[in-house]
Structure 1
Amino acid sequence: MKLSFNIALRFLNSSKGQTFLIALGIAIGVSVQIFIGSLIQGLQIDLVDTTIGSQPQITITSTSDDKLIGDYESRLSDISSDYEGVKHVSPSADGPALVTSDEENYSILVRGLSFEAAEGIYKTKERLVEGSLPENKNEVLIGTTLKDESGIQIGDEVDVLTSSGENQALTVTGIFDFQVANLNSSWVLTTLETAQSMFSYDDRITGIEMQVEDVFLADTISSDIQADLPEDLLAENWKDQNASLLSGLNGQSVSSYMIQVFVMISVLLGIASVLAITVVQKSRQIGILKAMGIRDSAASLIFVFQGLMLGIAGAILGILLGLGLAYVFTRFALNPDGTPVVPLYINPGFIALSAGFAIVVSTLAALIPARKSSKLNPIEVIRNA
């Protein structure tokens, strides 16, 4: 085996230009895999984070006539402790209302939150562009769009008409920007106690919201939670509500895999054809080696080792080239605000898999010329040389 390895290394060194071209071909295949895979994964992570990263991924609601959930504190505690993978749990008390400003009415959704518990989901502190979070009863946050449309400013006291016909005076303490026009125009955030008082919910809420560690396991965790809930409570997850998004993500993944497979098939065919030509070029040397007593299996191993070494060299070069392409892309493909169109996502496991796949493919491609070399008759090779 050592002899075969040394001969393979000498064959590669004797044709350095050819060796470099083969390694470069493998490197380009690996770099395309890494670049496309990292791009697609980064795009998917950014898309998921943008759409559901700052929203509940599982929500428990009531199917009873009043749509309210009682004894919610013990349920919050049970969910946090009993279900692996649940990251943040927060109660909410929502209700529709109208806010009046300059004799104009604006339809809003008053959302009562426990801001400390909900911070992990909504990141409200990060979304504040002016003012501060509500600390006292009857204090609220409004969105930037509602502020611009209504002219309401921090410190203003606004009249809110609830669906039950009750009027409530609320003081604006801050302005938020969730970067979603619909939320910025319709959501009015306040404390849980304020919303419960406004809509006469007593000590009940309208929903329990949560985020999970792995967003793609939300449906599984939701099913586990649903199995332990009473009949009047329903656990819904983002995957059931975003079928079109999931379809798009699956389509991206499939197209990425297809491109990567065809790239590696082309690499395999290229290596096999070049090494097959090498067998012809080196047939005289192989014939002499066989005449000197080298076995057919050892002659075959020469080309297997060549494929292995070319695969390793190409994989290393391909990783560097792929990461370089991904980095350059994130520096030139920018949004108007200067952020990358697609953030750079480095997945060490995927990179290792791509490199390993290239090495395996290169070694397998070498089996074709290896088999051919094992069938060479040394007497005929030397006679025809």
Structure 2
Amino acid sequence: MKLPFKIALRFLKSSKGQTLLIALGIAIGVSVQIFIGSLIQGLQKSLVDTTIGNQPQISITATNEDKLIEGYDEILSSIRDKEDQVINLSVAADGPALINHEDDTFSILVRGFNIDESDALYNIKESVVEGTLPENDYEVLIGIDLKNESGIDIGDEIDVVANFGETHTFTVTGIFNLGVSSLNSSWTITTLPTTQDMFSFEDRVTSIDMQVTDVFAADAVAASISDRLSSDELLVDNWKDQNEDLLSGLNGQSVSSIMIQVFVMISVLLGIASILAITVVQKSKQIGILKAMGIRDKTSSLIFLFQGLLLGVAGAVLGVILGLLLAFAFTKFALNPDGTPVVPLFIDPMFIALSAFIAVIASVVAALIPARKSSRLDPIEVIRNA
């Protein structure tokens, strides 16, 4: 094994320009793979975080007549004990209502939370742009769009009419901005006991919300929870069933990314094979002499396989460096007006290692054709025609 390796290394050193060209071609292929893969993964992660990052990924609702969940404490305990992938478990009680303020009426959804538990789901605390969180009954946060539309401000007392006509007076303690216009104009956030009292829910809630460690496994986790609850009065829903268009788009991005990377590696593979095949012709005299001196066909084949391996390793290392530099440059030059990257790149060490490994394997595979050709060289014919 040492002899073909040394000969392969000598062949590469004797044609430094050609060697550099092949290694650079492999490096460009690897860097394109890493850049495109990181870009697509970053885009997908950004889309997922934006659309479902700060909202429930699995929700349990009631299908009974009053749409209320009884005994939710037992359900919460069961999920916490049995479902390891579930995180950020919370309950909510909400109902539609109207705000009467200065002769104007605004339609709202009163949402009651255990705010400390629900904050991990909705990022409520950081979304408060003015004032403070509600701590007592009948204190409320309103959205910034509702504030601008209605003129309601912190400290104001507002009359909220429940769907059965009963009026309750709330004190506004703060303004929130959840980053979604529809929520900022319709949601009001208060404590769980407030909504339970306001809508006469007693000790019942309208939904149990949760997130999971792997967002793309939400459907499997939801199915497991549904089987565990085995109740006809409870519906377990997940974000994947509710966002089929988004999921289709994410799958389309993944497929397109894979196709681009495959064709890039095919072009690299064909380039390596063609250049090494030319090398066989260029080095045919030396190979013929080596065969005449007694090296076997297998050894001559190994020379080109080692060449492919060495070129693959060199190109992969250089490609990883170029890919990471390209990704870093992209995050510095492609910026939003606020200075954040247009698409935040997601650097996955496993993906980078896999890209480099595939490049090395592709280089060795590309060397099979010239290796086979070299093994068939007849030393007598080569020396005679030299």
Which whole-Å CA distance do the structure 1 matches of 2:316 and 2:31 have between them? 8
Which whole-Å CA distance do the structure 1 matches of 2:266 and 2:102 have between them? 68
Structure 1 residue ranges, 4+ long, deviating more than 2 angstroms after superposition: none
Query: What's 1:282 paired with?
Result: 283
How far has the Cα of 1:335 moved from its partner? Answer: 1.2
How far has the Cα of 1:102 moved from its partner? Answer: 2.1
* Letter aligned with residue 187 of structure 1: W
Kindly, what percent of the aligned residue pairs are identical? Answer: 68
Query: What's 2:85 paired with?
Result: 85
How far has the Cα of 1:228 moved from its partner? Answer: 2.1
* Letter aligned with residue 168 of structure 1: H
Q: Aligned with 1:18: secondary structure?
A: helix
Query: What's 1:202 paired with?
Result: 202
Q: Aligned with 2:105: secondary structure?
A: strand
Query: What's 1:40 paired with?
Result: 40
Q: Aligned with 2:60: secondary structure?
A: strand
Q: Aligned with 2:142: secondary structure?
A: strand
Which whole-Å CA distance do the structure 1 matches of 2:204 and 2:285 have between them? 89
Query: What's 1:295 paired with?
Result: 296
Q: Aligned with 2:153: secondary structure?
A: coil
* Letter aligned with residue 8 of structure 2: A
Query: What's 1:155 paired with?
Result: 155
Q: Aligned with 2:205: secondary structure?
A: coil
How far has the Cα of 1:119 moved from its partner? Answer: 1.3
Which whole-Å CA distance do the structure 1 matches of 2:52 and 2:119 have between them? 15
Query: What's 1:313 paired with?
Result: 314
* Letter aligned with residue 63 of structure 1: T
Contact 2:62-2:69 within 8 A present in 1 as well: yes
Q: Aligned with 1:216: secondary structure?
A: helix
Query: What's 1:179 paired with?
Result: 179
Q: Aligned with 2:54: secondary structure?
A: coil
* Letter aligned with residue 240 of structure 2: K
Q: Structure 2 regions of 5+ residues with no counterpart?
A: none
How far has the Cα of 1:101 moved from its partner? Answer: 2.1
Which whole-Å CA distance do the structure 2 matches of 1:313 and 1:126 have between them? 48
Deviations along 1:292-312, one digit per CA (max 9) or x if unpaired, are: 101100000000000000000
How far has the Cα of 1:80 moved from its partner? Answer: 1.2
Query: What's 1:12 paired with?
Result: 12
Deviations along 1:96-133, one digit per CA (max 9) or x if unpaired, are: 01112221111110000011111111111111111111
Contact 2:41-2:345 within 8 A present in 1 as well: no
Contact 2:144-2:175 within 8 A present in 1 as well: yes
Deviations along 1:209-242, one digit per CA (max 9) or x if unpaired, are: 0000000000001001111221101100000000
Query: What's 1:110 paired with?
Result: 110
Which whole-Å CA distance do the structure 2 matches of 1:84 and 1:329 have between them? 37
Query: What's 1:273 paired with?
Result: 274
Contact 2:134-2:190 within 8 A present in 1 as well: yes
Segment of structure 1 superposing worse, 254-263 or 170-179: 170-179
Q: Within 5 Å, which residues of 2 pair with 1:44-63?
A: 44-63=44-63
Which whole-Å CA distance do the structure 1 matches of 2:169 and 2:208 have between them? 27
Deviations along 1:290-340, one digit per CA (max 9) or x if unpaired, are: 011011000000000000000000000100111111111111111121111
Q: Aligned with 1:341: secondary structure?
A: coil
Which whole-Å CA distance do the structure 2 matches of 1:101 and 1:26 have between them? 68
How far has the Cα of 1:78 moved from its partner? Answer: 1.2
How far has the Cα of 1:203 moved from its partner? Answer: 0.8
Contact 2:156-2:172 within 8 A present in 1 as well: yes
Contact 2:139-2:170 within 8 A present in 1 as well: yes
Q: How many residues align?
A: 385
Query: What's 1:244 paired with?
Result: 245
* Letter aligned with residue 360 of structure 1: I
Query: What's 2:350 paired with?
Result: 349
Segment of structure 1 superposing worse, 152-161 or 261-270: 152-161
* Letter aligned with residue 327 of structure 1: F
How far has the Cα of 1:255 moved from its partner? Answer: 0.3
Which whole-Å CA distance do the structure 1 matches of 2:34 and 2:275 have between them? 24
Query: What's 1:224 paired with?
Result: 224
Segment of structure 1 superposing worse, 240-249 or 172-181: 172-181
Asked if residue 164 in structure 1 is aligned to residue 164 in structure 2, the reply is yes
Segment of structure 1 superposing worse, 68-77 or 29-38: 68-77
Q: Within 5 Å, which residues of 2 pair with 1:332-343?
A: 332-343=333-344
Q: Structure 1 regions of 5+ residues with no counterpart?
A: none
Query: What's 2:365 paired with?
Result: 364
Which whole-Å CA distance do the structure 2 matches of 1:278 and 1:173 have between them? 78
Query: What's 2:381 paired with?
Result: 380
Which whole-Å CA distance do the structure 2 matches of 1:45 and 1:289 have between them? 56
Which whole-Å CA distance do the structure 1 matches of 2:374 and 2:172 have between them? 83
* Letter aligned with residue 106 of structure 2: Y
Which whole-Å CA distance do the structure 1 matches of 2:6 and 2:340 have between them? 51
CA RMSD of aligned residues (A): 0.7
